[in-house]
Structure 1
Amino acid sequence: MSAAAYYWAKFAWRRASRAEATSFRRVLLPHPYALDLPGVGASSTLIKAHDPTTGRAVGVVHDRTTGYMTVTTLLAPGGSLMAPTGTVQSSLRTWSSVLDMMSTDEQIQGASVTIQITPGAGEALGDDVRARQDPGAPRLAKQIIDELVRTTPHATASVAPWMSVTVDPQAAANAPVDLADQVAEALRVVDSLDLSGTGTDIERRATDIDLRRIVRSAYDPDVFNARDAEFADLQWSECGPQAADDSWEEYAHDGGVSVSWVLREMPRRPIAYSVLLPLLAPGRFQRRVTISYRVLDPYEGEAVLEREISHAHHRAQATAEFKGRAKWSQKADYQRAETAAAQVASGAQVVDWTLMVTATTRSAADLPAMRQELERAVKATRGIRMRPAYGAQASVFAAGLPLGYNPLVK
């Protein structure tokens, strides 16, 4: 982030703050936007659809401004740390094929994968162990299990992963006119994405109740463990905050205060597939890690890499004219751009992506501790560089939720 971009964002945020555009209060007044979600979710609405393939209800988020529809798939929490290296490489190749499929489908505008880690107090671990314990097990085995439960009371966490795909149903060859046909077209496009072999298991399509729970519990963490019946009668606008203040480096909402960071730079060296493990490890505070994707079509991807080659060449040439030689980092950037262009010429695709992390605490007094925990987790990745989302805390907060907002989708 250049100095000019930083100070311009600071100026724009202060201007919005003086106009009271960074504060939200949900009041029941005869206002045309009184029943909308705040910020980037204002144009979204929730549609309860019926999936004929499974016979279950499906929640579809409709953006009334663009006409895009977002379908969320709940995934089963798992990992590949114990899997053989060949299995992991096969999963990566399969995921690459899924992204390749997105680039050739004009209806898919973008996708995001989110993993939410909510720390637990440990009671759930003890209850689960007692329910599954064999009464006829050896005494030594029972003692070891009881000791593990007793010594790790705060190491449990609830892990909730999901994948959201944004679809433009109007981009079909025969564009549907009716809203029901548009929802059916969006579900058809999402069903065409085959995630088998990517290392993850699909649990089911998110229902309207699932989406209400995810969004409402993000703004108010106290209702995270509430029953489904408490979310069934909620309006979509009621899932948002009752009050929120978007500050320069934090976002205060109903039941807590959140801090969001965004990707600054990836390491310039090859990284292991477990690089995000420190960010996904349970901590004291709730955390959401989101990777957003937008796969460029072949022509746009080739144009982007050609611009990268030209920019790297001009930067190295300007430095050489001023200092007598170009920097080694500039030469390395030029070589990487040429290598990527050669891969695209051989059939590879270009993916525009970003990484976002949001941590939430229920007390403003814990903000320093939460920032320190998040900073340590980022440093533990050994190479990934992130920074606070200056002046965009509310937007990055919403980008990790299934609200139909993807910062990479134009």
Structure 2
Amino acid sequence: MTAHEVPQTLMVEGFRTRRSFGFGGLSRTATMIAAMVLTAEGLIATQAPMTLVVTLPVTIAVFTLAAARRHGMSALAYYWARIAWKRATRFDATSYRRLLLPHPYALDLPGVGASSTLIKAHDPTSGRPVGVVHDRTTGYMTITTLLAPGGSLMAPTGAVQSNLRTWSSVLDAMSTDGQIKGASVTIQITPGAGEALGDDVRARQDPGAPRLAKQVINELVRTTPHATASVAPWMTVTVDPNATANPPADLAEQVAEALRVVDSLDLSGTGTDIERRATDVDLRRLVRSAYDPAVFNARDEEFEELSWAECGPVAADDGWEAYAHDGGVSVTWVLREMPRRPIPYSVLLPLLAPGRFQRRITLAYRVLDPHEGEAVLEREISHAHQRAQATAEVKGRAKWSQRADVARAEKAAAQVASGAQVVEWTLLVTTTARDAADLPAARQEVERAVKATRGIRMRPAFGCQGASFAAGLPIGYSPLVKD
């Protein structure tokens, strides 16, 4: 069995992008807008026919761009985002500088993290401190759980199947709990941890050891800095403590309610080991080391006195395809499309392999409640049938891809009817280079890893690099969580 071959029972499928039905490649909303615009132009033309000379070409051009695709999205949306980003750049809205100003929120985190604040709480279950990120705008609480790095590649098939079933149960628990708004699992890989290990080994060598043993140890010390990395996985859960019959009266009760909700999620049996709840110091370390990777292995004492704003960058520039900050330059990719075929459960392994640059892989989830999930799939089945029927009426038969899409939608609906859950999710990959000159090499490293997954398609987060960078940090922001 090769590295890419796994038993058929460990293949996963069911990934599907939402697609609405519209005319000529347009979405349903765009089709309705086009119909209204053309109707309005027709009514105006009855009184002033010459207006069509101006309005009709513009309308056709706009909706042609809306129907065309670029990087997996509407070409109109792509170019509109490009124009909006250039306009923001002109007004310096894409640049952040931390200034010492005498007004309340001068020292907040930049961008999407501006409304967050860090609370140091006491967890009565474990008796240890825990860090809770509070969103002052929405009232949501975010709690992070540190996980122990591990894997299941050497585990028996039955154990992996059991882990997948248990994780499905965790998602099921999220779908029935209205207080859980979203969750994400992040793995951060920081290269260079082998250097400290090598120094420790050299200091502990026995001068009287056999020569062969010394040669083996010296060879390990020589290769370790290039072959190892520090792996830091964590799971972040966003909770609305006020979404209950008896809302908490004050901030302390809101924190207690958020801890109770997160404690109700049982991750035992999912194939991961829980290390502990992240403390306020842990959260400062994770956020600060993302902006400046050089401080990742610093002592806890260096983070204890940092304010929440000091964990962010002193300066940052949000570019079209890159995000420059204190300790380097980062690029974030977002999921464009998953394979339409079954894929092995270990498909993300190439992305998780250590490289030359710090990398952060984030899976963000939003589990739909059973009623919403069923309604979504029913709409998807209707849209898939309508697309196939419209093509058949024009060309005499539906495309094979459309028939397969109908079959996938119906299969998903059958799985939901049997108790499965509908999950909105996305994948984000961030790499950080210490120097702008190394950025092309960092890009190439991630692009090769994406190709090695054999089917996953990703694209840069055009015009929203700063927000996508923050989505992989435990600061309470998720692109899937709705206010």
Decide: shared fold, TM above 0.5.
Answer: yes
Q: Which moved more, 1:324-333 or 1:64-73?
A: 324-333
CA positional deviation for 1:148 = 3.5
CA positional deviation for 1:143 = 4.4
Deviation string, structure 1 residues 31-61 (Cα, Å, up to 9, x no partner): 4431211100000000000011211110000
- Match among 193, 201, 209 for residue 265 of structure 2: 193
1:175 aligns with 2:243: no
Tell me which residue corresponds to 2:88: 16
- Match among 402, 408, 428 for residue 356 of structure 1: 428
CA positional deviation for 1:130 = 6.0
Deviation string, structure 1 residues 309-353 (Cα, Å, up to 9, x no partner): 112112222222233222211111110000111111122110000
Gaps of 5+ in 2: 1-72
Partners of 2:379 and 2:316 in 1: how far apart? 41
Give the letter for the 2:96 counterpart. Answer: F
Cα-Cα RMSD: 1.8
Q: Which moved more, 1:31-40 or 1:158-167?
A: 31-40
- Match among 290, 295, 312 for residue 367 of structure 2: 295
Tell me which residue corresponds to 1:250: 322
- Match among 334, 354, 359 for residue 262 of structure 1: 334
Give the letter for the 2:388 counterpart. Answer: A
Tell me which residue corresponds to 1:206: 278
Q: Which moved more, 1:171-180 or 1:116-125?
A: 116-125
Q: Which moved more, 1:337-346 or 1:58-67?
A: 337-346
Count of residues paired in the alignment: 410
Partners of 2:258 and 2:299 in 1: how far apart? 29
Give the letter for the 2:463 counterpart. Answer: G
Give the letter for the 2:390 counterpart. Answer: A
Instruction: Map residues 209-248 of structure 1 onto 2, 5 A cutoff.
Output: 209-248=281-320
Give the letter for the 1:273 counterpart. Answer: Y
CA positional deviation for 1:2 = 1.7
1:305 aligns with 2:377: yes
Partners of 1:79 and 1:46 in 2: how far apart? 31
1:79 aligns with 2:184: no
Give the letter for the 1:230 counterpart. Answer: E
What's the TM-score, normalizing by structure 2?
Answer: 0.82
Residues 41, 398 of structure 1: 8 Å contact kept: yes
- Match among 147, 155, 174 for residue 227 of structure 2: 155
Q: Which moved more, 1:54-63 or 1:149-158?
A: 149-158
Give the letter for the 1:268 counterpart. Answer: R
Residues 195, 224 of structure 2: 8 Å contact kept: no
Give the letter for the 2:236 counterpart. Answer: S
- Match among 69, 74, 78 for residue 141 of structure 2: 69
Deviation string, structure 1 residues 130-149 (Cα, Å, up to 9, x no partner): 68989999875664454344
The 1:326–1:35 alpha-carbon spacing in structure 2 relative to 1, beyond 3 Å, is same
Tell me which residue corresponds to 1:165: 237
Deviation string, structure 1 residues 74-93 (Cα, Å, up to 9, x no partner): 00011111111111111010
Partners of 2:270 and 2:219 in 1: how far apart? 36
Partners of 2:447 and 2:200 in 1: how far apart? 33
Partners of 2:257 and 2:200 in 1: how far apart? 41
Give the letter for the 2:254 counterpart. Answer: Q
Tell me which residue corresponds to 1:333: 405
The 1:4–1:271 alpha-carbon spacing in structure 2 relative to 1, beyond 3 Å, is same
Q: Which moved more, 1:135-144 or 1:156-165?
A: 135-144
The 1:13–1:299 alpha-carbon spacing in structure 2 relative to 1, beyond 3 Å, is same
1:370 aligns with 2:408: no
Deviation string, structure 1 residues 188-230 (Cα, Å, up to 9, x no partner): 1101110000000000000000001111111112221211111
Tell me which residue corresponds to 2:39: none
Q: Which moved more, 1:391-400 or 1:130-139?
A: 130-139
The 1:177–1:134 alpha-carbon spacing in structure 2 relative to 1, beyond 3 Å, is farther
Tell me which residue corresponds to 2:163: 91
Q: Which has the larger radius of gyration?
A: 2
Give the letter for the 2:313 counterpart. Answer: P
Give the letter for the 1:72 counterpart. Answer: T
Partners of 2:459 and 2:105 in 1: how far apart? 33
Partners of 1:219 and 1:327 in 2: how far apart? 48
1:114 aligns with 2:177: no
Partners of 2:223 and 2:284 in 1: how far apart? 35
The 1:188–1:121 alpha-carbon spacing in structure 2 relative to 1, beyond 3 Å, is closer
Identity of aligned residues (%): 85
Partners of 1:223 and 1:149 in 2: how far apart? 23
Deviation string, structure 1 residues 274-309 (Cα, Å, up to 9, x no partner): 111110101110000000000000111011111111
Tell me which residue corresponds to 1:408: 480
The 1:131–1:58 alpha-carbon spacing in structure 2 relative to 1, beyond 3 Å, is farther
Partners of 1:3 and 1:131 in 2: how far apart? 59
1:282 aligns with 2:354: yes
1:42 aligns with 2:118: no
Residues 121, 154 of structure 1: 8 Å contact kept: no
Specify the SS of the correspondent of 1:304: helix
Specify the SS of the correspondent of 1:122: helix
Give the letter for the 2:150 counterpart. Answer: G
Deviation string, structure 1 residues 357-400 (Cα, Å, up to 9, x no partner): 00001111111111111110100000110000001100110000
